[in-house]
Structure 1
């Protein structure tokens, strides 16, 4: 009976951060956090937290690869892109797809200074 009772003990809330891609039929278990910008492959079963900007897949889901190097991930998170007002996003949208992160950083600085 203890095993049945344990099945009803809460595991905590599941959190899916901004910019996450979930593949079709991916199952996210209770209490798991999917970090900003992460990608979960289709049919995956996620049983553990997923770090920001990583790709996971399988059952149970395992790391496939990191989308960016750690310094780039830290910089992307610090930009808080998903908290921007719509007008800032629209103004800087063309820089978001640029492979040169320093251009985006400069554009953000210019925007924030009103240039």
Structure 2
């Protein structure tokens, strides 16, 4: 039986949820910060969410197969809390939750 390769962060679907410029800008900012964090910490597998111009690709879909095991744990345990923090008005660029969560995941493997 084949494993289902679920999407973890689907930019086209997120952008289609609301047409307002403010919402669109927020999705692009959140995607840029989150995917940049994953890239910076070597959590991506055969995926580059950024174009040659350095901007996030608006047609990018991050799937389970595109992240390392640490990246998947981050999505299960840490990203929901970071997203909730942003939804409550938290600063998108504040990635301390992501950093601390990743550190905890990596320390747990030692």
> Above 0.5 in TM-score?
no
**TM-score between the two structures when normalised by the length of structure 2:** 0.35
**TM-score between the two structures when normalised by the length of structure 1:** 0.34
Name which one, 1 or 2, has greater alpha-carbon Rg: 1
If asked which structure has higher relative contact order (CA below 8 Å, sep 6+), I would say: 2
Normalized per residue, the structure richer in helix is 2
